Amino acid sequence: MKAKTFKRSAAALAVGLAVAAGTGYVTARHGIAEVHAEPAPAISAPATPAAAMSMPDFASIVARSGPAVVNISVEGLVKTRNIASPFGQLDPNDPFSEFFRRFGPGLQAPGGEQVVRGQGSGFIISPDGVILTNAHVVADADTVTVKLTDKREFTAKVQGIDKTTDLAVLKIDARNLPTLPLAAPDSTRVGQWVLAIGSPFGFENSVTAGIVSAKSRSLPDEGYVPFLQTDVAINPGNSGGPLLNLKGEVVGINSQIYSRSGGYQGVSFAIPIEVANSVKDQLLANGKVTRGRIGVGIQEMNQALSESFGLKSANGALISQVEPGSPAEKAGLQPGDVILKLNGEPITNSNELPPKVAAMAPGSKITLQVWRKGSTRDIGVTLGTQAPDEVASADTPSPDHGRLGVAVRPLNPDEAAQLKAKGGVVVLQVAGAARRAGIQPGDVVLAVNGQPVADVAALQRLISGSDHRVALLIQRQDARLFVPVELG
């Protein structure tokens, strides 16, 4: 289970396991310090007929669907090197570190190895024994055992794993097995009833129900999956189990929970079945998944950014970075472009773009409608291939409280080479407008409203000639992003 706020619902291992020195001077211009009514009467709602208030027939759905849901047990050996204690740290480069972190400590084995065990869920999609589950349930396991509701057990073969979407395909040697039908793509609606069947904490074939709370949720480090959010109770052991609609069709695969305690707290996430189905087909055919790639860093638009770029709405995906040598660079895309449409289909939110592009085959030709410097244009891009499982000395200055409120210095040659930047200035201190906008010491300002910042003087000039709002392109560690700033 992830140690972050977002936690995968991987199985618990055992009951109760909670799991610039020098001299100089400072000048400041344009806020940049350079180092060298009455209530309405109540209306009674008409009485709701008793029939309309009846609950869905969950029992019938479970009776039909339950036999196709399986319990998955895994076992593997982890070298005890760099493990300070049963709950200690593994070497992050150890190939079994992720397995150990999710499933916790187990039994000590001879030869400096640790036996680790865990449980999860899955479901049968083909009568000849093809099973879908989560990648984190079976990744790095030596033995995978599948148990059916009739108590038969099979040793499963892992047909393929895609850690990017957290999906895995298993195969057991059996025939004439019960299966679950898959729902039509994009048929799920917010507010509809759904239920989950799985093995929370090892309690096999447990059933919980709720509604779809939201669609197309983007989670940290999960850019290729537009998750379904539900309020269905999901706990460790539910991982890989089906999320069903009232027709008994699979609409998603339960994968993650949002929790501060490690257990269910009302927010669960499932991989949409259309994503899982596409990954499954590739894993069965090729044993791996290939994805289309543009080669850009993007960020969400908001009202402040849309006004900075002259857009009437905050729709679209803002390009903050173009990778050198990428399909985007070859096509002429630039930082500051706002992608409004992909092949004529509007992009409302930035998180819609990565899964749409990833779902296309490398080599495909697409057309992007982008907003650049006050007008739209269409740009053709030939998709590349996404890599597997890839997202000066001076006195200390004092910033003033002018329009921008930053103290900056030029990049030195080594810094410019490392960032592959032709210009830019390093932020040393922040105050006023910059602080309110979230600018941080160490940020490198590369452009203002799309105009490159070659040096400190250029930044001063651009801020001086700007209206009340600007969009700064900054480099922060390994990422580039636009930050809207309300100037004083």
Q: What residues act catalytically?
A: 136, 166, 239
> CA–CA separation, 21 vs 275, rounded Å?
54
Tell me the DSSP string of 111-160: TTEEEEEEEEEEEEEETTTEEEE-HHHHTT-SEEEEE-TTS-EEEPEEEE
Question: How far from chain centre, in Å, is Cα 160?
Answer: 21
The widest CA-to-CA distance across the chain, in whole angstroms, is 82
Please name the residues in contact with 364: beta carbons below 8 A apart, sequence gap of 6 or more.
Answer: 292, 382, 383
Pair of tokens at residue 51: 């029939």
Q: Are 95 and 140 in contact (CB under 8 A)?
A: yes
Q: How far is C-alpha 251 from the chain's CA centre?
A: 19
User: What is the CA 130 to chain-centroid distance, rounded?
Assistant: 27
> What distance in Å separates the CA atoms of residue 424 and residue 440, rounded to the nearest whole number?
15
303, exposed or middle or buried, with CB in 10 Å at 0-12, 13-18, 19+?
A: exposed
Alpha-carbon span 107 to 88, nearest angstrom: 15
Nearest to 130 by CA among 333, 349, 321, 277: 277
Look up tokens 């600007």; give the residue: 470
